[in-house]
């Protein structure tokens, strides 16, 4: 059977879907977590097509942080899913006349870690709060008599246990759940499944990897600490040192750009064949930190170092679980010459940032919570096992979206500089894949 589809490019994003079968139709959508990295970009992508998305309800706890709060068709509604009972959330929705054909649920709470432990160490509290976020919202929809045709829940590649050790690779949507440690993604998926059976709504779960994007709320954003690190190393006249070993340098690590995640979520919502499916989403760009590190150094006009072949140059961190998430073999081992979280506490680093802040009028500090900001990039760059996210399932359903991850990082750093969150990459006008 032969089928055809029309795709288009928008800037650095290619193979994007068009929706001729939806021409002349208008829809309303709820986007939750609208100030976060995923929700912000979801609102922006939907607002690009006002002829299709007549009304976009952008829900978040705080006032909107981007200019789209005043865009045609975008209505911000302040609501706290944790602090409010479902009946109160429903009242707010009804008072604002909310109706929704589709829901894009991107709300997320990063709870403080246990003292002296890693970023995601307090799994019990992470599970309690993030499960409650979704549970309260779904209950409120029922109370307010809002029944969307499709709810798209964004979770992530931690579904496969990438934060716990080596996984099955490539990571595919039908891989078995990793039950060796708590993970609130599973409770959220089950909640959504129960809701769909009760109401007749369809669902999707999308699973990105580490996310690249520029928002003022920089939590869970690997590009922000990366740009801070490079800018400070340049200011100090030091090289772009790589903290991991050779395995971390050359292992494949698929990234997920927030704008492409949003395009993919819109495609999933409007594609009947994708209904009631979990779907991975990555840039579909082959990426290793080793190939990217010289490019990043070139953007900042500094030298770089590659991994030291001597294992004695590294500290060893052994993951606690054996067997690891893939179900067999030894536990994961991470070798680090330093961590970004510890680098961020050095006095000369803090002094350099203060000077850069004054020079460029930077508006916030990444050092207010060093583990939250830099622990994320430690978890990504130091990890030596593959993070290969299969896009086969979405491709078979008609998805062709793509972005070169290097282009996405360059564009994101440029936008972060425009937001006065990081110093600009002076003298560099475009991404170059050539080694320095």
Please spell the DSSP secondary structure of 13-47, one letter per residue.
Answer: EEEEE--GGGTT--EEEEEESTTSHHHHHHHHHHH
Residue 434 has pLDDT above 70, yes or no: no
* Rounded Cα–Cα distance for residues 87 and 61 (Å): 16
Per the document, the length of the chain is 436
What global pTM score does this model have?
Answer: 0.96
Return the structure tokens found at 127: 């599970």
* Rounded Cα–Cα distance for residues 183 and 71 (Å): 37
DSSP state of 253: B
CA distance to 34, 217, 359, per residue, from 365 (Å): 22, 12, 14
How confident is the model at residue 67, as a pLDDT? 53
Residue 19, number of CB atoms within 10 A of its CB: 15
Phi, psi of 59 (to 5 degrees): -100, 130
Structure confidence at residue 431 as a pLDDT band (50, 70, 90): confident
**Tens-digit pLDDT profile for residues 321-337:** 999 999 999 999 999 99
Cα angle 357, 362, 366; round to 5: 80
Residue 82 has pLDDT above 80, yes or no: yes
**Tens-digit pLDDT profile for residues 119-154:** 767 889 999 999 999 999 999 999 999 999 999 999
Looking at the chain, the whole-number percentage of residues with pLDDT higher than 70 is 97
Give the contacts of 371 (CB within 8 A, at least 6 positions apart). 113, 119, 341
* Rounded Cα–Cα distance for residues 20 and 54 (Å): 17
DSSP state of 293: H
Residue 220 has pLDDT above 90, yes or no: no
For residues 421 and 362, is the Cβ–Cβ distance under 8 A? yes
3-state secondary structure of 235: helix
Residue 329, number of CB atoms within 10 A of its CB: 11
Residue 427 has pLDDT above 80, yes or no: no
Given the DSSP bridges, would you call strands 256-257 and 277-281 parallel, antiparallel or unpaired? unpaired
* Rounded Cα–Cα distance for residues 61 and 294 (Å): 40
**Tens-digit pLDDT profile for residues 293-306:** 999 999 999 999 99
Structure confidence at residue 426 as a pLDDT band (50, 70, 90): confident
Mean pLDDT of 21-25: 95
- In our burial notation (b when 16+ CB lie closer than 10 A, e otherwise), range 347-376 reads eebeebbeebeeeeebeeebeeebbbbbbb
**Tens-digit pLDDT profile for residues 361-419:** 999 899 998 888 999 999 999 999 999 999 999 999 999 999 999 999 999 999 999 99
């Amino acid at each position: 059977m032969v089928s055809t589809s029309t795709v288009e490019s928008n800037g650095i994003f290619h193979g994007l879907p068009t929706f001729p079968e939806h021409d002349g139709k208008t829809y309303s959508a709820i986007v939750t977590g609208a100030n976060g990295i995923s929700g912000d970009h979801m609102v922006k992508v939907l607002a690009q097509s006002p002829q299709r998305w007549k009304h976009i309800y952008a829900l978040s706890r705080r006032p909107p942080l981007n200019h789209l709060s005043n865009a045609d068709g975008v209505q911000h509604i302040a609501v706290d899913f944790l602090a409010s009972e479902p009946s109160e959330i429903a009242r707010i929705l009804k008072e604002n006349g909310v109706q929704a054909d589709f829901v894009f649920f991107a709300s997320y709470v990063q709870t403080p870690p246990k003292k002296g432990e890693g970023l995601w160490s307090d799994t019990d509290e992470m599970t309690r709060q993030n499960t409650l976020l979704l549970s309260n919202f779904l209950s409120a929809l029922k109370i307010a008599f809002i029944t969307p045709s499709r709810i798209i829940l964004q979770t992530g590649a931690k579904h496969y246990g990438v934060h716990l050790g080596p996984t099955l690779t490539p990571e595919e949507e039908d891989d078995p759940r990793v039950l060796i440690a708590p993970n609130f993604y599973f409770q959220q998926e089950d909640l959504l499944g129960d809701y769909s059976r009760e109401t007749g709504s369809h669902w999707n779960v999308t699973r990105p990897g580490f996310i690249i994007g520029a928002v003022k709320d920089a939590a869970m954003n690997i590009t922000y600490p990366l740009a801070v690190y490079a800018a400070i190393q340049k200011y100090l006249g030091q090289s772009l040192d790589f903290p991991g070993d050779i395995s971390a340098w050359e292992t494949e690590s698929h990234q997920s750009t927030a704008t492409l995640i949003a395009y993919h979520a819109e495609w999933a919502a409007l594609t009947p064949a994708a209904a009631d499916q979990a779907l991975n989403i990555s840039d579909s760009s082959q990426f290793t930190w080793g190939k990217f590190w010289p490019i990043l150094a070139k953007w900042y006009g500094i030298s770089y170092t590659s991994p030291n072949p001597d294992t004695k140059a590294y500290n060893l961190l052994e993951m606690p679980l054996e067997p690891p998430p893939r179900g067999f073999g030894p536990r994961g081992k991470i070798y680090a010459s330093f961590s970004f979280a510890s680098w961020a506490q050095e006095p000369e680093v803090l002094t350099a940032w203060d000077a850069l802040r004054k020079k460029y009028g930077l508006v916030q500090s990444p050092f207010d919570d060093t583990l939250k900001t830099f622990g994320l990039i430690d978890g990504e760059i130091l990890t030596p096992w593959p993070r290969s996210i299969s896009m086969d399932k979405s491709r078979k359903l008609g998805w062709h979206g793509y972005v070169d991850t290097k282009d996405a990082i360059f564009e994101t750093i440029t936008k972060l500089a425009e937001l006065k969150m990081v110093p600009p990459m002076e003298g560099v006008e475009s991404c170059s894949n050539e080694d320095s």
